[in-house]
């Protein structure tokens, strides 16, 4: 039964009154309520876990975090702490949108049929946003400390991410009593060490694997063998901690996914390009499990994911299906790996800074590491019959295009132009040439 | 031709089974004990549903309830996932046939019956709630139960209801039942003399054991210490409130309180 009833009056530490409107959910550390603070409807996390209620260090860190700016807009940041009342305290934050799902729900499609990524681009976007957030957090000198599938709210269509439970964040090297969630905790944290950026990297690799593959990277034939039919905490700590074997480990094949029990790992791994497979193999290798310094940084993941986003190809034949696009890495496959049909590989924009971006039908165009699309690949009908690929300007500023013969045309926002080899596009601040 | 479905499948998830053994003997009518149980159980189901949903791929919680009076009965004939479990109020009357409850529990703790998930299991938990001396026969049933591997591994929590509950026989039954066996750690026996807190304690214990059991951190806590954590959590939550206690277990026959 929720501890706070609707109508309960609380106060922020600065004295502003707060009224409880209703109960939302409960979790490991406390309960979440909908509240009114002045004219804003917000969420209140109210602690019920005695270890936290009595932990003055935790409260001090929480107050400190409230005074800081969030590392990025993706963080649902604590905005203020309440006074101690009714034997506990809590903090307020903005409400979670209802169209987003906890990452954990993406693993339970039987209970949450809408919680699945609609495209590889959505998966890439989610992974990129998480890496972007953690890369900034780590640069700012913080570690998240309790990184797991419960910390992310994700939009299944766009891949947009909101990072929650930011009350656990602490300066790197300092711990406020938070340990982490099993199956995501680094082995050294399991054995009592303080979580830090390196343990965050261990958890991050698992979260990223699950975004792309859904199943857990350490689940395989060993973990589901009859030997572990009643898995004890000691076995769990070993198989998901210090003795964890990545199911696609390059050297140790003992824990390969089982087709019946880990169908997602089997299916999606086959659709992954080599570069990201290599990264998972490195990030989840026995060495990286045991030696924290060998773990892959959020910024390294981000670089790879940006490259994959630039290379991503949409497949027209799959337009009505989930995952109507696919990831490529350098060499294009002859047929779409998902449907086996021929596909249109579109055009490449080669930017003056050396980077490239593939444009295909329906695919958004992003600059560098931005998450705001400035254009979209569109299929247009040609006056003389037939179809061609065009690029729509969905930004707020006009672009210019220069034909190979030197004529210049302005592309106003909301309009599009046919992509043909060798034309040059002059975007604000950067030029790109169109290639096959 | 496009693939028909590139959607993910559900992830395999181990089950954590929670078995409740609930005394429905006539004495449970006194002081509203059975009403407290009836009020607490639907809330417990909600809490377990919450815990299970937030942690489903690691440990999906399944419930079984065995009530015992003149005989033992199961609310469902097999364990049911927490979100699908519907509590039906029980009435108190009759004897305290703990023997039948132990035998029924034993029959459920097999791969061929109640513990048959293809994805495997986590350690189960068994919560026994009783307010009086069990009838004869419980010892041989418990001995058989203690041979069962699942029971040996299970977290076992005994809740003694009522200030008059500390008789010699009851103490023996609960102490023997709560032996951790292969689960390790200390015994968890909780005495509730303030019956107004029964509802709250049962809810708290259920939530704590299911959370710890389904999200176990093993080495992080020191393997086998779930019992210790439950005991600590109960002490933190309810002490120094009068009426809820974890009595020290000693070898003599003095009442605990």
Which tokens is A148 given?
């797991």
Secondary structure of A347-374 as H, E, C letters? EEEEECCCCEEEECCCCEECCCCCCCCC
Contacts of A110 in chain B (CB under 8 A): 10
- Are B180 and B186 a contacting pair, CB within 8 Å? yes
Same domain, A127 and A238: yes
3-class DSSP state for residue A400? strand
B223 touches chain A (CB under 8 A): yes
What DSSP character marks residue A240? Answer: I
> How many domains in chain A?
3
Residues 279-298 on A with a CB inside 8 Å of B are: none
Q: Within an 8 Å CB–CB cutoff, is residue A150 touching chain B?
A: yes
Q: Residue A227 belongs to a domain with what CATH number?
A: 1.10.510.10
Query: Of chain B residues 73-92, which have a CB less than 8 A from chain A?
Result: 83
Does some domain include residue A338? no
Contacts with B9 from chain A: Cβ below 8 Å: 109, 214, 263-264
The more confidently predicted of residues A31 and A16 is A16
Does A109 reach chain B within 8 Å, measured CB to CB? yes
Which one of A45, A77, A93 terminates a domain? A93
Q: Of A75, A74, A67, A8, give the one whose Cα is nearest residue A36.
A: A8
| Residue A275 domain flag | yes
Residue B81: strand pairing partners: B62
Nearest CA in chain A to B215: A182
Residues A89 and A118 in one domain: no
Q: Cβ of A230 and B111 within 8 Å? A: no
Mean pLDDT in each 10-residue stretch from start to end of chain B (257 residues)? Answer: 69 93 94 90 89 80 96 95 95 95 97 92 95 92 97 94 71 92 89 83 85 60 64 75 64 49
Q: What is the DSSP letter of B255?
A: -
Whether B122 and A181 lie within 8 Å, measured CB to CB: no
User: Same domain, yes or no, for A105 and A65?
Assistant: no
Q: Which tokens go with B182?
A: 């292969």
The larger pLDDT score, comparing residue B199 to residue A178, is at B199
How far does A330 lie from chain B, in Å, by closest CA?
Answer: 24
Q: A230, B121: Cβ pair inside 8 Å?
A: yes
Given A39, A69, A93, the domain boundary residue is: A93
Q: What residue ranges in chain B does DSSP mark as E strands?
A: 15-23, 60-68, 72-74, 80-81, 121-122, 125-130, 155-161, 188-192, 244-245
Torsion angles phi and psi, residue B100, rounded to 5: -65, -35
CATH code assigned at A419? 2.60.200.20
Q: What is the pLDDT of residue B123?
A: 93
Select from B4, B10, B203 the Cβ nearest to the Cβ of A108. B10
Contacts of A234 in chain B (CB under 8 A): 218-219, 223-224
Residues of A in contact with B45 (CB under 8 A): none
pLDDT tens, position by position, A404-416: 999 999 999 999 9
The answer to whether the CB of B69 falls within 8 A of the CB of B25 is yes
* Cα B132 to the center of its chain, rounded Å: 17
ipTM score assigned to the predicted complex: 0.86
Centre a 10 Å sphere on the Cβ of residue A326 and count the other Cβ atoms it contains: 25
Residue B123 and residue A109: Cβ atoms within 8 Å?
no
For residue A20, the model assigns a pLDDT of 96
- Does A288 share its domain with A155? yes
Tell me the CA distances in angstroms from A179 to A103, A189, B55, B129, one per residue in order. 20, 7, 16, 32
Nearest 5°: the CA angle A300, A301, A303 is 65
**Residue in chain B lying closest to A326 (CA):** B6
pLDDT at A139 over 60: yes
* Chain A CB contacts of B226 below 8 Å: 233
Q: What is the predicted pLDDT for the residue at A396?
A: 96
| Amino acid B31: pLDDT | 82
| Interchain CB contact of B251 with A (< 8 Å) | no
Under an 8 A CB cutoff, do A107 and B11 touch? Answer: yes
pLDDT at B166: 57
Looking at A149-297, list the stretches that DSSP marks H as alpha helix, in order from N- to C-terminal side.
187-190, 197-213, 233-237, 263-269, 274-283, 286-290
Domain residue extents for chain B: 15-245
Which A positions 209-248 lie with beta carbon below 8 A of chain B? 214-216, 219, 224, 228-238, 241-242
User: Using CA atoms, how far apart are residues B95 and A132, in angstroms rounded to an integer?
Assistant: 64
CATH level 2 (architecture), domain B15-245: 3-Layer(aba) Sandwich (3.40)
What are the two backbone dihedrals, phi and then psi, of residue A144, each rounded to the nearest 5 degrees? -80, -35
Q: Which of A25, A51, A323 faces B6 most closely, judged by CB atoms? A: A323
Q: Tell me the per-residue pLDDT of A331-361, one tens digit each, with 9 for 90 and over.
A: 888 888 777 888 889 999 999 999 999 999 9
What is the separation, in whole angstroms, between the first and last Cα of chain B? 74
Chain A hits for B215, Cβ within 8 Å: 28, 181-182
Q: Specify the pLDDT at position B242.
A: 58
Please judge whether B217 and A179 are an interchain contact, meaning their C-beta atoms are less than 8 angstroms apart: yes
Q: Which residues contact A98 (CB under 8 A, 6 or more apart)?
A: none
Q: Work out the angle at residue A307's Cα, subtended by the Cα atoms of residues A305 and A313, and round it to the nearest 5 degrees.
A: 95
Q: Is the pLDDT at A74 greater than 90, yes or no?
A: no
Is beta strand B125-130 parallel, antiparallel or unpaired with respect to B15-23?
Answer: parallel
Whether A295 and A366 map to the same domain: the answer is no
Residues forming beta bridges with residue B125, ordered by sequence position:
B18, B155
Higher pLDDT among residues A169 and B222, named by residue: A169
Residue A372 placed within a domain: yes
Give the model confidence (pLDDT) of A354-408 as tens digits.
Answer: 999 999 999 999 999 999 999 999 999 999 999 999 999 999 999 999 999 999 9
On chain A, the residues whose CB falls within 8 A of the CB of B216 are 182, 233, 236-237
Q: Looking at residue B224, what is its pLDDT?
A: 44
State whether residue B47 sits within 8 Å of chain A by CB. yes
The domain of A28 spans 9-93
Residues of A in contact with B198 (CB under 8 A): none
Contacts of B107 (CB under 8 A, 6+ apart): B113
Write the pLDDT tens digit of every residue in B219-245. 344 444 677 888 887 887 776 555 677
Query: How many Å apart are CA A125 and CA A128, to the nearest integer?
Result: 5
Domain assignment present for residue A324? The answer is: no
Residues A429 and A351 in one domain: yes
Rounded CA gap, A143 and A189, in Å?
A: 13
- Residue A334: inside a domain, yes or no? no
Please tell me if residue A177 touches chain B, with a CB cutoff of 8 Å: no
Q: Is the peptide bond before B240 cis (omega within 30 degrees of 0)?
A: yes
Q: Is B2 on the interface with A (CB under 8 A)?
A: yes
Domain match, A281 and A169 both: yes
Of A31, A60, A93, the last residue of a domain is A93
For residue B251, report the phi and psi dihedrals to the nearest 5 degrees.
-80, -15
Q: Indicate if A120 and A179 belong to the same structural domain.
A: yes
Residue A174 shares a structural domain with residue A65 = no
Tell which residue, A283, A125, A140, has the closest CA to residue A204: A283
**Cβ within 8 Å, pair B223-A234:** yes
Q: What is the pLDDT of residues A180-234, one digit of tens each?
A: 788 999 999 888 888 889 999 999 999 999 999 999 999 999 999 999 999 988 8
- Is residue A388 assigned to a domain? yes
- Residue A315 lies inside a defined structural domain of this protein: no
């Amino acid at each position: 039964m929720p501890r706070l009833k609707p109508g309960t009056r609380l106060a922020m530490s600065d004295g502003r009154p707060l009224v409880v409107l209703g109960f939302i959910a409960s979790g490991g550390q406390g309960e979440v309520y909908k509240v009114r603070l002045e004219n804003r409807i917000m969420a209140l996390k109210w602690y019920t876990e005695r270890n936290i209620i009595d932990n003055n260090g935790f409260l001090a860190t929480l107050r400190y975090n409230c005074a800081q700016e969030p590392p990025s807009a993706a963080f649902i940041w604590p905005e203020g702490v309440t006074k101690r009342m009714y034997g506990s305290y809590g903090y307020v934050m903005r409400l979670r949108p209802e169209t987003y799902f906890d990452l954990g729900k993406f693993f339970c499609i039987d209970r949450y049929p809408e919680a699945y990524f609609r495209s590889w681009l959505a998966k890439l976007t989610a992974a990129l946003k998480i890496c972007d957030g953690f890369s900034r957090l780590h640069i700012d000198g913080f570690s998240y400390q309790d990184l797991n599938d419960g910390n992310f709210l994700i939009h299944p269509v766009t891949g947009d991410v909101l990072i929650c439970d930011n009350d656990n964040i602490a300066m790197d090297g300092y711990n406020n009593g938070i340990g982490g969630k099993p199956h995501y905790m680094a082995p050294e944290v399991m054995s009592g060490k303080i979580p830090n950026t390196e343990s965050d990297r261990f958890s991050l690799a698992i979260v990223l694997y699950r975004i792309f593959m859904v199943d857990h990277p350490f689940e395989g034939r060993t973990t589901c063998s009859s030997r572990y039919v009643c898995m004890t905490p000691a076995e769990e700590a070993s198989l998901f901690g210090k003795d964890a074997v990545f199911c696609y480990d390059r050297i140790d094949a003992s824990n390969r996914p089982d087709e019946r029990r880990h169908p997602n790992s089997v299916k999606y791994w086959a659709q992954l390009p080599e570069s990201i497979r290599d990264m998972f193999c490195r990030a989840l290798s026995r060495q990286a499990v045991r030696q924290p310094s060998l773990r892959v940084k959020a910024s390294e993941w981000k670089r790879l994911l940006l490259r994959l986003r630039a290379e991503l190809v949409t497949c027209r034949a799959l337009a009505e299906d989930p995952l109507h696009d696919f990831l490529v890495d350098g060499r294009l496959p002859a047929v779409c790996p998902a449907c086996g049909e021929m596909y249109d590989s579109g055009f490449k924009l080669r930017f003056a800074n050396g980077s490239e971006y593939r444009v295909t039908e329906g695919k958004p165009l992003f600059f560098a590491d931005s998450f705001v699309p400035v254009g979209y690949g569109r299929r247009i009908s040609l006056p003389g019959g037939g179809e061609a690929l065009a690029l729509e300007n969905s930004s707020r500023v006009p672009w210019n295009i220069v034909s190979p013969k030197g004529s210049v045309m302005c592309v106003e926002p909301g309009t599009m132009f046919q992509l043909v080899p060798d034309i040059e596009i002059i975007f604000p601040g950067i030029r790109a040439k169109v290639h096959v | 031709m496009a693939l028909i479905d590139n959607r993910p499948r559900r992830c395999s998830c181990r089950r954590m089974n929670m078995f409740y053994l609930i005394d429905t003997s006539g004495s449970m009518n006194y002081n509203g004990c059975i009403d407290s149980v009836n009020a607490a159980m639907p809330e417990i189901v909600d809490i377990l549903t919450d815990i299970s949903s937030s942690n489903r791929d690691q440990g999906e919680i399944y419930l079984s309830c065995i009530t015992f009076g003149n005989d033992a009965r199961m609310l469902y004939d097999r364990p049911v996932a927490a979100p699908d479990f519907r509590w039906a109020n029980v009435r108190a009357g009759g004897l305290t046939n703990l023997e039948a409850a132990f035998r029924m529990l034993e029959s459920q703790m097999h791969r061929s019956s109640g513990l048959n998930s293809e994805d495997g299991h986590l350690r189960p938990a068994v919560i026994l709630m009783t307010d009086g001396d069990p009838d004869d026969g419980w010892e041989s049933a418990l001995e058989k139960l203690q041979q069962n591997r699942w029971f040996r591994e299970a977290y076992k929590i005994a809740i003694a209801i009522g200030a008059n509950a500390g008789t010699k026989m009851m103490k023996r039954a609960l102490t023997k039942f709560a032996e951790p066996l292969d689960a390790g750690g200390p015994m968890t026996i909780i005495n509730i003399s303030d019956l107004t807190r029964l509802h709250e304690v049962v809810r708290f214990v259920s939530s704590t054991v299911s959370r710890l059991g389904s999200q176990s951190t093993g080495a992080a806590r020191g393997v086998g210490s779930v019992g210790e954590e439950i005991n600590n959590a109960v002490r933190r939550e309810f002490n120094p409130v009068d009426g809820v206690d974890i009595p020290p277990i000693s070898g003599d026959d003095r009442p605990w309180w």
